[in-house]
């Protein structure tokens, strides 16, 4: 069986880390990446290698197109290209839009949306040559519904939904599928700002009555990676029935 390769951005912790572990357990060689949490990235790499999986850590800021090009040059030293791309790098910002600075807006859009564009642009040529491939964008239900005091974050995820659907139509003739996973409230560091009372109030709004887990998201992402190419241009919600 042909070895499969996956790049997961933002994979030192949370959803990205859970995805890396899940893919490695299912026989993929995993390229993991992060911008800041380099020690945690090394720990993830060590854990996967210790369990007999294949893993290569490629730290770097994927909101920088030159860094993305460098990452893919390093990937090509290991294989011809990735079979699966998981665009997971993301940050959030909570506050009034009127208080948001130009640099904060740019950083959020660059990290959450532009990074996906840069990585897709580098990954696509190999996928086209192979007439197959999977691109999975990690998004949010707020990209559909919008969240008060998270206008920039919601806008970035809405843009990711648009990119997903448009690129899926562009690449479908080449056998490449492009989908997004729209996460609801997941138990990650991104929600660590919430106190216990706020968490309990939020859980009351979720039909499932709880936050989702990173492992549940990872299982969904892996399922999309293994799905038929005809499943494309979809925004898959994993939100406990919230929307």
Catalytic residues: 153
User: Per-residue DSSP letters for 64-124?
Assistant: SHHHHHHHHHHHTTTSS--SEEEE-------S-GGG--HHHHHHHHIIIIIHHHHHHHHHH
Residue 243 to residue 240: CA distance in whole angstroms: 8
Q: Which residues of 203-236 are buried (b: 16+ CB within 10 A; e: fewer)?
A: eeebeeeebbebebbbebbbebbebeeeebbbbb
DSSP 8-state assignment for residue 190: G
DSSP 8-state assignment for residue 52: T
In three-state secondary structure terms, 230 is coil
Task: Answer yes or no: are the C-beta atoms of 116 and 60 closer than 8 Å.
Answer: no
Q: How many helices (H) and strands (E) does the chain have?
A: 9, 7
């Amino acid at each position: 069986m042909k070895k499969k390769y996956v790049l997961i951005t933002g994979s030192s912790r949370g959803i990205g880390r859970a995805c890396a572990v899940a893919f490695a357990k299912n026989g993929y060689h995993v390229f993991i990446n992060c911008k800041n949490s380099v020690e945690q990235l090394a720990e993830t790499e060590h854990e996967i290698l210790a369990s007999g999986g294949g893993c290569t850590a490629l730290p770097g800021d994927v909101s920088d197109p030159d860094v993305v090009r460098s990452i893919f040059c390093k990937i090509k030293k290991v294989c011809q290209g990735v079979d699966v791309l998981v665009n997971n790098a993301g940050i959030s910002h909570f506050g009034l839009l009127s208080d948001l600075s130009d640099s904060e807006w740019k950083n959020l859009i660059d990290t959450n949306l532009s990074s996906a564009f840069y990585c897709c642009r580098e990954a696509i040529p190999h996928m086209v040559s192979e007439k197959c491939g999977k691109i999975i964008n990690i998004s949010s239900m707020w990209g559909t519904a919008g969240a008060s005091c998270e206008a920039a974050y919601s806008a970035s995820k809405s843009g990711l939904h648009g990119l997903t659907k448009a690129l899926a139509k562009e690449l479908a003739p080449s056998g490449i599928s492009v989908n997004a996973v729209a996460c609801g409230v997941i138990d990650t560091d991104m929600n660590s700002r919430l106190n216990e009372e706020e968490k309990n109030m939020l859980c009351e709004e979720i039909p499932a009555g709880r936050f989702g887990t990173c492992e549940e998201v990872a299982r969904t992402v892996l399922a999309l990676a293994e799905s038929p190419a005809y499943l494309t241009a979809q925004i898959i919600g994993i939100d406990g029935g919230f929307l």
